Amino acid sequence: MLEDIYWLGLKLIPELNNRLNRALECFGLPENIWKASIEELKRELGLSVDVAERVVLQRNALCLDRELDKVKRAGVELLTVFDLSYPRLLKEIHSPPPVLFVKGDLIKSYEMAVAIVGSRKASSFGRTLASELAQELSRCGITVVSGVARGIDSAAHRGALKEEGGTVGVLGCGLDIVYPPENKKLYLEITEKGSLISEQPLGMRAFPQHFPARNRIISGLSLGVIVVEAPQRSGALITADFALEQGREVMAVPGNVKSSLSKGTHALLRQGACLVESVDDVIDALNLNLKSTKREASGKEELLSAQEKAILTVLDWQPRHIDAIASEVGLSASQVASLLSVLEIKGFVKQDFGKRYLRI
């Protein structure tokens, strides 16, 4: 579309990109903004002479056909707030992003989405719980939204990818930049089975100032936000604040009272956030007409041997050393090691580090 060229051009000029919503109010159409004179830019947007002249210089230096070709060759689509496929929930927020860069499944419905966010320095407990919650939500057909960051975000995406609900990753950089770099494989999996979204143009690095804006998109796409592990000063709490402003449900998972990673989530719970212990709590909080499939696990446990069941009874979310498990169930360490290997294959336990195991 011809309009895509002008939308892209506006995103590539920082002085216009930072004032895009206001510019649209003043000029109506992206083409009008793009073709505005220095005098019009000064008058309508309040730009100084120097800034207006810099805008025109940048505009004249850009070859928009070439820039649009770069976007297409990267497998990226432009989605504007005027497009019918623009997510309805996101469109409802105050000053929705006028342009999104999207890679992946553009047809996927975002009508039933839940965000899972939390600390980058998450514990094994937090990562495991985020992954399990995301998998259960995805199994119910709910899209899981997060920020593709280390820790809780990555765990949530990976859990969601195991089922049919899909996942949406919202970036604070251009879609051609993998941040953090170790998430390259996860990026590819999300584009194959879900969507990556950013309001930043290609080539834009992950600057700190981009992440609050990214967080408002995460909450804006979602019916509610679940916070799993967050210290008192956390980007996840910023996402929760945006959710409140946008009229979304805020939920939090309680944690270890001695852990600094529980300070933020417990503060949210004291302020009235919905407590989440399982996917059923999420479904109830959002008044969704769905049934969780959590009960399948209890049925599978009936097929376990007495010794396997005994081991499960002494395991929880906190990792325990194999020697402590053996002592409690009255078996040798070698017997317990063998049983734990079987339980890990069956999907009931997970090895944390060393000889420490936790239940999943």
Q: What is the pTM of this model?
A: 0.81
Q: What backbone phi and psi angles, to 5 degrees, belong to 223?
A: -70, -30
- Report pLDDT for 295: 44
- The proportion of the chain whose per-residue pLDDT surpasses 90, expressed as a percent, equals 71
Topology annotation, domain 296-359:
Arc Repressor Mutant, subunit A (1.10.10)
Query: Sheet harboring 349-351: ordered strands across?
Result: 320-321, 356-359, 349-351
pLDDT in tens, 56-89: 999 999 999 999 999 999 999 999 998 888 999 9
pLDDT in tens, 188-229: 999 999 999 999 999 999 999 999 999 999 999 999 999 999
CATH 1.10.10.10 maps onto the chain at 296-359
- Helix 333-346 × helix 306-313 angle, to 10°: 90
The residue type at 164: E
Residue 81: count other Cβ atoms within 10 Å of its Cβ: 17
d(CA 105, CA 192): 8
Q: Bridge-partner residues for 117, per DSSP?
A: 227
Class of domain 113-293: alpha beta
CATH number for the domain whose boundaries are 1-73:
1.10.150
Is-contact 193 167, C-beta < 8 A?
yes
* Mean pLDDT across the chain: 91
Is residue 300 over pLDDT 70? no
Cα angle value 53/55/60 (rounded, 5°):
95
d(CA 45, CA 12): 17
CATH 1.10.150 maps onto the chain at 1-73
From the list 190, 184, 188, 182, the residue with the least C-alpha distance to 166 is 190
CATH 3.40.50.450 maps onto the chain at 113-293
pLDDT in tens, 150-182: 999 999 999 999 998 889 999 999 999 999 999
pLDDT in tens, 233-263: 889 999 999 999 999 999 999 998 889 999 9
